[in-house]
Amino acid sequence: MCGIVGYIGELQAAPVLLDGLEKLEYRGYDSAGMAVFDGQDIHIVKSSGRLKVLRELTEEGALLPGTMGIGHTRWATHGSPTDVNAHPHFNKDDSIAVVHNGIIENYLKLKKKLEKKGYEFISETDTEVIAHLLDYYYNGDPLDTITKIMHRMEGSYALGIMFKDHPEEIYAVRKDSPLIVGQSEEGNFIASDVPAILKYTRDVYFLENEEVVKLKKDSLGFFNIDGETIEKEVTTVDWDMSAAEKGGYEYFMLKEIYEQPKAVRDTINPRLKENRIEIEELNMTDEEIREIKKIYLIGCGSAYHTAMTAKYVFEGLARIPVEVDLASEFRYRNPIFEENSLAVVVSQSGETADTLAALREAKEHGVRTLGIINVVGSSIAREADSVMYTWAGPEIAVATTKAYSTQLIAHYLLAMKFAYVKGKLDDGQLADMISQLKALPEQIEELLSNKERIQRLANRYLATEHVFFIGRGIDYAISLEGSLKLKEISYIHSEAYAAGELKHGTISLIEENTLVTAVITQEELYKKTISNVQEVKTRGAFILAVTNEDNTEVEKTVDYVIYLPKTNQYFTNSLAIIPLQLFGYYVSLGKGLDVDKPRNLAKSVTVE
C-alpha cells in the first residue's frame, strides 16, 4: 500500500523523508515524491518508478532544502503510475500540498462539484480532489479546513498536509488507513508504519480514526473531528532496528523464513504455564469458552489460509462448528450470526481493509471478536474485543512466512485451550500435544537445514508455466498457501486443489511433466491421496510429494519426496510449509525477480 512520511524539526527534511520512504518500500509502490517547504515556498519533486529515481532527481534531497516536508510512495489505485499521478499533489496556487493513502469513494462527485466552481484537474487521482477541496474550504485555519473536508469525504484516508502560510506546522489525519506520529529531540514525524521512523524515535502515538494531529518542530497537538483538543498516550515501541534490517540475508523473505523457529517459539512460550495453556489476552472465562457454539474465522490471502487449517483443528479437537470466510466476501454476504459465537479475524498487518471491515460487521451484530494480529497497536488490534498477538516481529517481505507460521500457532493454542476447557482433551492428551507443539521450532530448523536440496529442485522448474498443489483435509489448506507463495513471488501460474476434486475437471490440464505437488501428511487419508496422485501420474505429471518421514511407501508412486519430521496430525502444516516457502523463494530467486517486492503487490492492502 502507499507509504507516507512527514517531518518537521531541526534536520534537513528531504534526506529524512527519503530514508523513511525506503523503510516503507516493502509496502509496494510504483511512484514516489516529496514536498518540502524552503522558507518561502513549497517545492514538489515526484516521479514514477523506484525511490532511486527520486534520490537522483533531488541529489539525495540536497536540491530540496528545508526542515519541513512530506513524502509518499504510491501504490496506484486511481490513475496509472505516472509522474503526474504521483503524490504529493498541490492545490491551484501551490499553497497547499497533500499526500494520501486510501481511497476517497465519493471523489468523482466531489470532483464534479469542484469543476463547477472552476477548479481544473491535471491528474486522474482522487488525491488531487483532496488538494482542491482543502483549497475550496481554506479560511486561513488549517484545522477548521481539515475538519470541514472530513465531513465531506467518504472512504479511507491517511493524509499528510502542508499549508504554505503555516510554515511551522504539518497536519495529518486518518480514517481507516494507518498513520502514526513520532516524537523526538530532533523533531516530529508522521508515518504509515513504525519502520519509517525507528531510526529517530521509538516514542509513537497511534492516531485513531478521525483524529487530527498538528505537528510543530517541538510540540504535538491532537484534535477530534469537531476540532476539540484531545489527549493521547505515547507508546514506546520495542522493535529493534536490526529486526527491520536484512541482517546479512540477500532478501528479507529468506531472513524471515529462517526466523520462523524463533517466531514460533516466541508465540508459544508466553502461553504455556507448566503443562497448561493460558491465553490471558483472550479475556474469556472457562465458562464463556464452554458457551461458544460457533466460530467464524476470517482473513485474506495467507491469513485466510491459516483459517482454512484452523477449521480442521478447531472442529477436530474442540468439536466446535467453524465457518471460514474470505474477509472481502464476508463483509458483503450479509452473514447469519448465531448466538454465543466468536469471530476470529486474522491479519499480519492489522490494517487490511477487508479484514477490518469484517471485524466491524461482526461487532455490529454483537458478536465477540478476537484478533490474531502481528503488528502491535494496529487498527484491527485496537478495535477487536481481544487481541492474541503473534510474536513474529516486523515482517518486511510482501510474501508472508513467519507471520503465517505464528498465526498457525495461535490457532493451535486456541483450539487446544478450547478443547481442554470443553473436556475434549484430558490432561495427558493435552500434555502430549504441548510437547509436540514445543518440538516444532527444532523440527522447522531441521527442515531449513535441507535448503540446498529444495534449491536444486526449484532450479529445475524456473521455466515451468503451471504448477498444481493437491492435498486432502489439512493438506488441502497448506496446498493453498504453497500455491500462493509460488504465484506471488515467481509469477508462475499455480493452483491448489482438494486432491479428490481434481478429477472433476481440472485434471484435463495435466500434461506430460506438469509439476504436481502432493501434500500427504494425514495418515487416515494416505491411500485416498495416493490414488489421486496415481490419476495425475498416469497422465504424465511429475509428482513432488511432501509427506511424513515414516511414509516411505510413497516412493513407489511419486518422483520426488520431501520428508517431514513426525508431529501431531493437526500441526503438520507448520512443517509442510517450510519446503513450500523455500521452493517458491528459490524459483523466484532463480528467475532473477525481486523476491521481497513482487510486482503489483503490497504488504498491507489498506484499500478494498
Asked if 384 touches ligand AGP (CB under 6 A), the answer is no
Q: How far is the CB of 345 from ligand AGP (least distance, A)?
A: 9
Closest approach of ligand AGP to the CB of residue 599, in Å = 13
Give the range of 118-126, 207-215, 283-291, 394-402 binding ligand AGP by CB under 6 A: 394-402
Size of the site for ligand AGP (CB under 6 A): 15
Diameter of the chain by CA atoms? 79
Q: Minimal distance in Å, beta carbon 397 to ligand AGP? A: 8
Nearer to ligand AGP, 77 or 604 (CB): 604
**Does residue 372 touch ligand AGP according to CB under 6 A?**
no
Check residue 355 for interaction with ligand AGP (CB under 6 A): yes
The reply to whether 194 sits near ligand AGP by the rule CB under 6 A is no
Q: Least distance in Å: CB of 463 to ligand AGP?
A: 23
For the record, the C-alpha cell of 412 comes out as 493451535
| Alpha carbon separation from 275 to 159, 279, 313, 402, 413 (Å, rounded) | 49, 13, 20, 25, 12
Asked if 123 is part of the footprint of ligand AGP (rule: CB under 6 A), the reply reads no
Which of 301, 335, 471, 473 is close enough to bind ligand AGP by CB under 6 A? 301
Output the smallest distance, CB 350 to ligand AGP, in A.
7
* Burial tier of 167 (Cβ tally within 10 Å: 0-12, 13-18, 19+): middle
Q: Is 348 a binder of ligand AGP (CB under 6 A)?
A: yes
522 binds ligand AGP (CB under 6 A): no
Give the residue at shortest CB distance from ligand AGP: 301
Nearest residue (CB) to ligand AGP, 359 versus 558: 359
Among the listed ranges 36-44, 64-72, 344-352, 461-469, the one in contact with ligand AGP (CB under 6 A) is 344-352
* Closest distance of CB 277 from ligand AGP, Å: 24
Q: Decide whether 123 or 352 has the Cβ nearer to ligand AGP.
A: 352
* Residues 490-522: b if buried by 16+ CB within 10 A, e if exposed: bebebbbbbbbebeeeebeebeeebbbbbbbbb
Among 85, 260, 349, 529, binds ligand AGP (CB under 6 A): 349
State how far the Cα of 474 lies from the Cα of 492, in Å rounded to an integer: 24
Decide whether 407 or 514 has the Cβ nearer to ligand AGP. Answer: 407
Quickly list DSSP for 47-103.
EES-HHHHHHHTTTTTTS--SEEEEEEE--SSS-S-TTTSSPEE-TTS-EEEEEES-
Residue number with CB closer to ligand AGP (26 or 119): 26
**Residues 172/181, Cβ–Cβ less than 8 Å:** yes
Residue from 302, 521, 569, 574 touching ligand AGP (CB under 6 A): that is 302
Which residues 6+ apart lie within 8 Å of 509 measured at CB?
A: 466, 468
Q: Which residue has the cell 509460488?
A: 486
* 588: contact with ligand AGP by CB under 6 A: no
Contact present, 394 and 195 (Cβ < 8 Å): yes
Q: Are 13 and 60 in contact (CB under 8 A)?
A: no
Q: Which is nearer to ligand AGP, 36 or 307 (CB)?
A: 307
Task: Judge contact between 439 and 409, C-beta under 8 A.
Answer: no
Closer of 47 and 347 to ligand AGP (Cβ):
347
Q: Which residues pair with 495 in a beta bridge?
A: 468
Rounded to a whole number of angstroms, the minimum distance from the CB of residue 253 to ligand AGP is: 9
Q: Can you tell me the distance from the alpha carbon of 268 to that of 87, in angstroms, rounded to the nearest whole number? A: 42
Q: Is 214 helix (H, G, I), strand (E, B) or coil?
A: strand
CB of 326 to ligand AGP, least distance (A): 10
Those residues with Cβ within 8 angstroms of residue 250's Cβ, 6 or more apart along the chain or in another chain: 589
Of positions 48, 73, 352, 379, contacts ligand AGP by CB under 6 A: 352
With CB under 6 A as the contact rule, the residue among 123, 573, 604, 606 that binds ligand AGP is 604
Cα gap 550→572, rounded to integer Å: 13
Select from 359, 518, 605, 607 the one that contacts ligand AGP (CB under 6 A): 605
- Decide: residue 600, CB within 10 A, 0-12 exposed, 13-18 middle, 19+ buried: exposed
Query: C-alpha grid cell for residue 357?
Result: 471491515
Residue 77 or 347: the one with the smaller Cβ distance to ligand AGP is 347
- With respect to ligand AGP, which residue has the nearer C-beta, 289 or 480? 480
Interface with ligand AGP, residue 398, by CB under 6 A: yes
Q: Grid coordinates representing 296?
A: 467464524
399 interacts with ligand AGP by CB under 6 A: yes
Determine, following the binding rule CB under 6 A, whether residue 341 of this chain makes contact with ligand AGP.
no
Query: For ligand AGP, which residue of 31, 347, 479, 568 counts as binding (CB under 6 A)?
Result: 347
Cell of 340: 454465543
* Alpha carbons 539 and 534: distance in angstroms, whole number: 9
Active site residues: 2, 603
Q: CA 426 → CA 185, 361, 430, 531, 545, distances in Å? A: 56, 36, 6, 36, 34
Applying CB under 6 A, among 341, 400, 517, 521 the residue interacting with ligand AGP is: 400
Looking at beta carbons only, is 33 or 301 nearer to ligand AGP?
A: 301
Which residues, 6 or more positions from 254, have their beta carbon under 8 angstroms from its beta carbon? 585, 595
Q: Which of residues 241-300 bind ligand AGP (CB under 6 A)?
A: 300
Q: Is residue 388 close enough to count as binding ligand AGP by CB under 6 A?
A: no
Q: Select from 204-212, 312-320, 345-353, 422-430 the region that touches ligand AGP (CB under 6 A).
A: 345-353
**Nearer to ligand AGP (CB atom), residue 302 or residue 572:** 302
Alpha-carbon distance of 485 to 45, in angstroms, equals 36
DSSP assignment letter at 337 = P
Query: How far is the C-alpha of 469 from the C-alpha of 476, rounded, in Å?
Result: 8
Q: Map the footprint of ligand AGP across residues 472-491, applying CB under 6 A.
A: 488
By the criterion CB under 6 A, which residues form the site for ligand AGP?
Answer: 300-303, 347-349, 352, 355, 398-400, 488, 604-605
